[in-house]
Amino acid sequence: MTVAERFLKYVSYETTSDETTGVCPSTPGQKVLGAALVEEMKAMGIADAYMDEHGYVYGTVPGEGPVIGLIAHMDTAPDCSGKDIKTRIVHYEGGDIVLNEEKNILMSPVDYPSLKHNEGKHLIVTDGTTLLGADDKAGVAAILTVAQELLTEGGKHATLRIGFTPDEEIGSGADLFNVKDFGAEYAYTVDGGGLGELEYENFNAASALVTVHGRNVHPGSAKNIMINSQHIAMEFASMLPVQSKPEFTAGYDGFAHLCEMHGEVERSTLEYIIRDHDRESFERRKADFVRICQYLNERYGEGTVELKLKDSYFNMKEKILPVMHIVDRAKAAMERAGVKAKVVPIRGGTDGARLSYMGLPCPNLFTGGENFHGRFEYIPIEDMEACVRTLKCILTEPELF
């Protein structure tokens, strides 16, 4: 199978993760795909392929030299439906793409400028009602295509350790990953976006739950008695730096993002994620939340505002800098594969961030996908093929032997 054929097969499996279930994997469809991947791996000659009880899939392509891992995740984001994905291939020659004529759903280069860089390529798109699943089934497809080529063609290559994880999209992909048994010296997550992206810096990340307690009485007799939690919640939000919102940031800029809010007079909640590449700035952002809560409690009474802060993951850069040769190896592999490397910071996180802190240094490589987590997600077939070439060059670099 080609990488595109594999990808189209994998996206037919519904594997949307769900952070509310409290189990691993969080949804049964992920194990269904995992079992299918194990069968495929065994059929191509990966004798030790297996899926553990938590839905993690592992396997080995024996070789020489170092043991290098390639990792991708099987789940898709809960931000958008991943059920009954309808795909088609468009030879893109510019202008708008009609994804769904009946519903008048168009994808325009005005709204999605990345299209301008992909003219002349063959794009896999949806019908505009679901996400596509390139994040990260494109990574799964690329890894298994490389494995198949190594097994078929022979020749010198590093030992390849394969790992497919569940629940990356809900931040749990590395929770039960068996780093010790995986046995790789280092690895790459194949979970990036546009052509040539190479990432070894990601956000430091935390979550914040702000709960505001009020007091309700009849509004006709509310003077000096009522405490409307919703107004205090809005006051809290207004005290955060105005420009530190995702819609005003890019590159290395950090932010505090209000993801969800609920409220009535007696109780309101604000759910935030806090992100910053710089650790000191990250700590200052968290301190802002503490400071604002203290101020509001002084103003309205102790216990009016409660704050729960929780760190999620940290910038992998700290763990990659001592082993920068693995980043240089990826750059050299891209050059051999005819791809221009673009070293960019991840404005998010990957399994690789947490795995790096678990002892497995793990930069992130492109798949070619664009517009992840939404109805306008797409991926050029040519860029998936470039990903395959890059991975193969990493594993066959002459300096490894």
pLDDT confidence tier of residue 348, bands split at 50, 70 and 90 = confident
What would the pLDDT profile of 143-183 be if each residue is shown by its tens digit?
999 999 999 998 999 999 999 999 999 989 999 999 999 99
Report the C-alpha gap between 13 and 55 in whole angstroms. Answer: 15
3-class secondary structure, 257: strand
CA distances to 141, 184, 391 from 61, in Å: 16, 12, 14
How do beta strands 122-125 and 88-91 pair? antiparallel
- Residue entry with tokens 């699943």: 133
Name the token pair of 18.
């769900």
> What is the rounded CA–CA span in Å between residue 65 and residue 157?
8
First to last CA, the chain: 29
Pairing type for strands 186-190 and 364-365 reads parallel
Active site residues: 75, 168
Q: Which residue has the tokens 């009954």?
A: 84
Rounded-to-integer distance, Cα 304 and Cα 214, Å:
7
Cα(366)–Cα(369) distance, integer angstroms = 8
pLDDT digits (tens, 9 = 90+) for 299-343: 999 999 999 999 988 999 999 999 999 999 999 999 999 999 999
Where are the alpha helices (H) located in 103-223, listed in sequence order? 134-153, 179-182
Tell me if the bond preceding 25 is cis, omega within 30° of 0. yes
- Helix, strand or coil for residue 306? strand
Which distant-in-sequence residues (6+ apart) come within 8 Å of 391 by Cβ? 70, 142, 143, 146, 188, 190, 333, 365
Q: How far apart are CA 61 and CA 63, in angstroms?
A: 7
- For residue 342, the 8-state DSSP code is E
Give the confidence band of 399 by pLDDT, cuts at 50, 70, 90.
confident
Per-residue buried b or exposed e for 61-87, using 16+ beta carbons within 10 Å of the residue's own CB: bebebbbbbbbbbbbbbbebebeebeb
- Which domains are present in the chain? 3-202+316-400 (3.40.630.10), 205-312 (3.30.70.360)
Nearest to residue 353, comparing CAs of 132, 140, 177, 139? 177
- Residue-wise pLDDT for 69-120, tens only, equals 999 999 999 999 999 999 999 999 999 999 999 999 999 999 999 999 999 9
| Predicted structure pTM score | 0.89
Rg (alpha carbons) of the chain, rounded to whole number: 23
